[in-house]
């Protein structure tokens, strides 16, 4: 009766192929697809925050970047 799924599912980076735990939420909106108050969220690990953020920012989609609340903060 072992459950292989971690009880606390850590959010994982949205970058393709990356399985690192995410520590940032990039909130974005594509005005051609979404109403102005709609927010899509990409999660990013520290290594991909820049590249994902640049991708969205270059298209004018990036609205805000928020640090994810983590229950395992190492830098408290
Ligand atoms: Zn990543």
pLDDT range class, residue 6, cuts 50, 70, 90: low
For residue 76, what pLDDT is reported?
A: 45
Å from CA of 15 to ligand 1 middle:
5
Report CA(49)–ligand 1 centroid distance (Å). Answer: 7
Q: What's the pLDDT at 4?
A: 57
Separation between Cα atoms, residue 44 and residue 60, nearest integer Å:
18
40 neighbors 28 (Cβ within 8 angstroms):
yes
- Count CB neighbours of 58 within 10 A: 9
- CA gap 30, 57 in Å, rounded: 11
Question: Where does residue 13 rank: exposed (0-12), middle (13-18), buried (19+ CB within 10 A)?
Answer: buried
Per-residue pLDDT for 7 more than 70?
A: no
Ligand 1 centroid – CA 67 distance (Å): 14
Q: How far is the CA of 68 from the centre of ligand 1 (A)?
A: 14
pTM for the model stands at 0.77
Q: Could you read off the pLDDT of 10-53 as tens digits, one per residue?
A: 899 999 999 999 999 999 999 999 999 999 999 999 999 999 99
């Amino acid at each position: 009766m072992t459950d292989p799924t971690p009880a606390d599912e850590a959010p994982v980076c949205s970058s393709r192929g990356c399985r690192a735990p995410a520590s940032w939420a990039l909130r974005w909106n594509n005005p051609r697809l979404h109403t102005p108050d709609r927010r899509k969220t990409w999660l990013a690990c520290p290594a991909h925050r820049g590249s994902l953020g640049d991708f969205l920012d270059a298209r004018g989609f990036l609205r805000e970047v928020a640090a994810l609340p983590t229950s395992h903060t190492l830098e408290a």
